[in-house]
Structure 1
């Protein structure tokens, strides 16, 4: 029997098996639960001692589901950094602001995250993991370079962008290592505004100031 023009055409099986209503929200909840568990374990231990199996048990999911969402322990570690360090919106705002003020605003936003007692402890634990594990160090470096400093350098359009990113990142990580991890005095006791005033001109120069060009190696005789 022929179908009338108004009759709905049956959909292929693949289309009929589309995501049920609410599936996307459920995925988000599960993913967030895994991230919370990962942050807890990375903060309590180190990157090396934390396992995907332990994180899965904490989140009450199968370890395969952790890898399904994040791919690897290194990628999961990198994802946990985005929660306390949620600076993407702030970086986007800085790009729209006066480029001559980037150094001060970046240092201030970065230090404010560390001043928050809620985020300071897990962040400090993650930094300690970075010191002892190359995968963790690579993940943290990637986060700083790609999500926080890289967009600012790219927006400035200055030369030697990769070197500029590395210089800024090394100063920011060195600052938190000395102030919050090692507790070097008087750095650890310095007022935030004083630190910003000291660091901002250096970071500003790395972001937008002139850098010396690399010297050519002398020709071998």
Structure 2
């Protein structure tokens, strides 16, 4: 009786008696970039609806149609995923590079102009809207957004401005810009929502400049200092 000859594997799968097919290794699945973007989009939506504490990695993976292991592969943890969703929406380098390049003079107007431009581009606006909805509705999300914006974005601007108490100045600028975003793009208060962007820059920019470089009122700074420059 002639012995059965085993055919070489040339791709795809080959059967083994009683053990099922052998799959050829393929490395990382195709479409990894698309999968990462889909995960971020689903995460932002769920964080906006349920807050950071109300969303699990498993729920995000299910909404994105991927395995939870892939979420961990890309982002390591839920905190990493939330931070990545903020970075994808805010893009500090895109906002700050042209703002900081011009020096201290006109810094406030350049910051407001870049902020408005970022909000008025698509798909950035939808991403920012989801992050802002999450921040105003859920305390843990708000804390994470606040820390990110003040530390990675406005903290850099305040340091470049060079005034004392940069952390206070960054917080004051944040109050102006977050309030502007809520009023113009979320609540859509008129006539602010319909004003030309340069009109908004002209109105808001000097306030931001004052927060960054002006003298701070008594009581704004720690230990009762008046915030006067040395």
Q: Settle same-fold status: TM greater than 0.5.
A: yes
User: How far apart are the structure 1 equivalents of 2:144 and 2:132?
Assistant: 11
Residue in 1 that maps onto 2:51: 47
Residue in 2 that maps onto 1:123: 128
User: How far apart are the structure 2 equivalents of 1:182 and 1:29?
Assistant: 32
Residue in 2 that maps onto 1:107: 112
User: How far apart are the structure 2 equivalents of 1:29 and 1:185?
Assistant: 38
1:157 has 2:186 as partner:
no
User: How far apart are the structure 1 equivalents of 2:32 and 2:137?
Assistant: 33
* Distance of aligned partners of 1:122 and 1:33 in 2 relative to their CA distance in 1, 3 Å threshold: closer
Q: Any residues of structure 2 matched to 1:1-221 within 5 Å, and which?
A: 31-42=36-47, 45-47=49-51, 49-67=54-72, 69-214=74-219
User: How far apart are the structure 1 equivalents of 2:95 and 2:156?
Assistant: 11
Q: CA deviation at 1:111?
A: 0.8
Q: Is the 8 A contact 1:70 1:76 kept in 2?
A: yes
User: How far apart are the structure 1 equivalents of 2:107 and 2:51?
Assistant: 32
- Deviations 1:112-156, CA, capped at 9 Å, x for gaps: 121124222332232122111111111211221122111111122
Q: CA deviation at 1:193?
A: 0.8
TM-score normalised over the length of structure 1: 0.74
User: How far apart are the structure 2 equivalents of 1:166 and 1:138?
Assistant: 13
RMSD: 2.8
User: How far apart are the structure 1 equivalents of 2:180 and 2:163?
Assistant: 24
| Structure 2 alignment gaps of length 5 or more | 1-26, 225-230
Q: Higher relative contact order by CA 8 Å / sep ≥ 6: 1 or 2?
A: 1
- Deviations 1:18-70, CA, capped at 9 Å, x for gaps: xxxx97x9987765553244235446x34255432122124444324434543
Structure (1 or 2) with the larger CA radius of gyration:
2
TM-score normalised over the length of structure 2: 0.72
